[in-house]
Structure formats: C-alpha cells, structure tokens
Amino acid sequence: MNIAAESGAFADMMRLLEDLGRIGREPGGGVTRLLYSPSWQEAQRLLAGRMADAGLEVRYDRVGNLYGRLPGTRPDLPVVLTGSHVDTVRAGGDYDGAGGIAAGIAALSYLKRRFGMPVRTLEVVSFCEEEGSRFPLTYWGSGSIGGRYRIGDGTGIYDADGVSLDEAMKAAGFGHESQPDCRRRDIGDYVELHIEQGVVLEAAGRRIGVVESIVGQRRYGIAVTGNSNHAGTTPMSYRADALAGAADMIVRVEEMAKQAGNGVVATVGRIEALPNTPNVIPGEVRFSLDIRHTESGMLNEFSESALETFQRIAAARKLQVKADCWLKTEPVPMDGTLAGRIERLCMEAGLPYLRMVSGAGHDAQMMAAVSRAAMLFVPSRGGISHAKEEYTELAHLAEGTAVLAACLHELAYTTGVDG
C-alpha cells in the first residue's frame, strides 16, 4: 500500500508537520507546546482544521483530547483508533507525538479516498498531554480515556508558576460538564505510529520497529536538606552541604544502574540548589530521578535499593532526604495479535523490521487498559529525541504511514474484530 505515491495524503501530512513545527518554535530551536498553553491551543486548532479538511467529523472531549472520526457502516462494532500526543517537552523536536497524529490523519484520509466508508468506525486522536512537562503527571489525555484520571484530579496539581491543572484546563476552554465525557468503552483496537526516539533501528538497518512491550517507570522528586551557612567561615567538617550530598547520590545511582545492567536505566534530568548563591553552602537541593525497566520485579528492586542508598548517604553526611514518587507505571505488553499483524504487513511489503521493547513511555500503555493496543516505530536519525536535532527521514515516515494504513484497513474494512 504505497500511500505516498497513490494519494496526496502523504504530501498533506508533510505540510502538516511543517506547520505544526512553527507553533511553539523557540528562538534557539526546538518547539515547546505545554499542556493548555497558547501554543498548545493553536496546535489543536490547526489539527482540528486539517481533520475537517480530510472529511472527518471533529470533536473535543472534556479534557481537550481532539478526535477526527470516519463513521463505519456497523456502528455496533468497536472503534479502531490511531493517533498520538500534541504536547512536547521544552524545546523538543518536530516529530515526537506530532508524527503519529499526522500519520493517522493521512492514513484515514487515504483510506476514505481509496476505499470509501469503513465497516468499523475509524478515529484519529490528538491526545491533549503525554509528556508531563508542565504538570507533575503524565498521560492526562489517554489516562482520562482509560479511567486512570478523573476531572477532579486536576485540582491539587500545580505547575511551576502555581497554576493548577484544573485552572489551566478551564482557561483553555475545557473541563466543563457540558462537554463530552473523556471515558471511552467503545474502542476495540488502538494502533500508534511513533518515532523510535532511540538508535536501535538505525543501527540495525531496519525500517520498522514492532513494539512488543513498553517499559515501566518510576519518577521521583528527591529533596535533600542540610544547613545553609557562610561559605568562607564554616569549616568543612562542620558542614551539612545538601548539594555535595545530592552530587554523591546522583553519581552513585548512575554507578548502580551500570552495575545492574540488564536494561536498567536511571536518569537525573533536573536539579535545583537553594539558595543558589555562590558564597553560601546549599541548604536544600531538589532533583528528579527517572528509573525504567521492562520487568516489574527488577524495577521495584532497583528503585528501593536506590532510595535506601540515598538514605545511607544522607545519614553519613548529616542530611535529610525525602523521596516523592509522582509517577508509577508498570511495564505493559502490547497485544500479540496486533503485533503479529504489523509484522506480517512488513514482510508482505518487503520492509526490514525488528521486534523490540520501547524504552520510552507512550499513550499506548494507557490505551492497553481499554482496548487491544499496538505500536510501530520508525527510525530516529542518530537516536536523538526530545531535542531540536530530532529528525526522521521522509521515506521512513512514508513507509511507517503505509504500514499503519494497511493495518487500519484490515481492522476497519474487513472488521478484524477477532484479529
């Protein structure tokens, strides 16, 4: 199924990605579209217009998830859904999330033009949030669909400026009882195209990644407390330096992850020292800790060991340390039948593929709670993502979109309810 050659859908997709890439563009490069921000709202409006141009029925739900719907001739059958998220990390890339939405619109546009109305209803979604870049939670969009979150959950969650999620949502025009409920019970299959965000496919010379499972994650906010004091008059032996202690913890957790091997990854991506003054010993340090693995047992064991190590370091340095786990997701297997379908389509198209594990979290893991879920990856140049250098070749996007369209065709036009 050569979507690039047989219709204008792929050209429309590339124009859409270019237009999205201008929304939230940072002066130094990269794009920033934080949940409910003006740039986020502008991006959703653009996507709504392109969905309408593709002949889809457009609607938002109560949290701001955006849908484009191609009604089926058998509305009693479960919906087939595709898409991804529109929000970004700060100064992120043009393809993370956006590529899956654009591919979904292109696939539905192509299928409608080529085959007419499907048997099962097809929908493409632009999830309102996945990254957790503005508020300390992730998957607000897909999690609301699956029942993990409820509208009221946004009341006590604040961004760095003290704005609650609930306030931001209502300021953007959402969160009202008159709007459609987020919870969905009519979805049968969810298939998401995404850039790999890693180097595995490129290094292996493969064009498609067939995702077998998504890693579990633990994300912590770590607070280390000591005593602020004068940098010149406080002898080294009398100090309770929170920053020195935090540095010790950060180096140690990196060493632990390297020693553990077996796919464990641990990352400290954000750190803040207070009072952050050159001639004052830091009395408090806050840093993030992100731990991931494909097995729940190993993930729990490593996380507990890391926190115990932090406590020992703190005690030896006369510090206090507190850990707040604000994200806890378990490893999620993708549906084996759907993965097998994608694998077969790759073989039929002569596309070299690779079965693989996703080291990044995705909306598909939330959707797996309410439907069969699958993911296919396309390569990321140099494995770079969450950065302005993020790039996926147009040929790879075309191939991934073709596989996605073929999969959606089988599921929606030949019913595909039993796989």
Q: What is the pLDDT of residues 298-342, one digit of tens each?
A: 999 999 999 999 999 999 999 999 999 988 989 999 999 999 999
Residue 8: count of CB within 10 angstroms of its CB:
14
Amino acid at the residue 286: R
Q: What is the pLDDT of residue 1?
A: 56
How does residue 9 score in pLDDT terms, banded at 50, 70 and 90?
Answer: confident
Q: What is the pLDDT of residue 262?
A: 84
Query: Rounded to an integer, what distance in angstroms lies between the CA atom of residue 156 and that of residue 331?
Result: 27
Q: What is the pLDDT of residue 334?
A: 97
Average pLDDT value for the chain = 95
Instruction: Give me the mean pLDDT over the 160-174 stretch.
Output: 97
Confidence check: pLDDT of 416 > 70: no
Query: Rounded to an integer, what distance in angstroms lies between the CA atom of residue 271 and that of residue 178?
Result: 41
How does residue 193 score in pLDDT terms, banded at 50, 70 and 90?
Answer: very high
Query: Rounded to an integer, what distance in angstroms lies between the CA atom of residue 188 and that of residue 123?
Result: 11
Query: Rounded to an integer, what distance in angstroms lies between the CA atom of residue 101 and that of residue 84?
Result: 5
Asked if 124 and 101 count as a contact pair (C-beta separation under 8 A), the reply is yes
Collapsed DSSP state (helix, strand, coil) of residue 16: helix
Instruction: Give me the mean pLDDT over the 74-85 stretch.
Output: 97
Q: What is the pLDDT of residue 250?
A: 98
Q: For residue range 11-21, what is the model confidence (pLDDT) as tens digits?
A: 889 999 999 99
Angle CA(219)–CA(225)–CA(229) in degrees, nearest 5? 145
How does residue 2 score in pLDDT terms, banded at 50, 70 and 90?
Answer: low
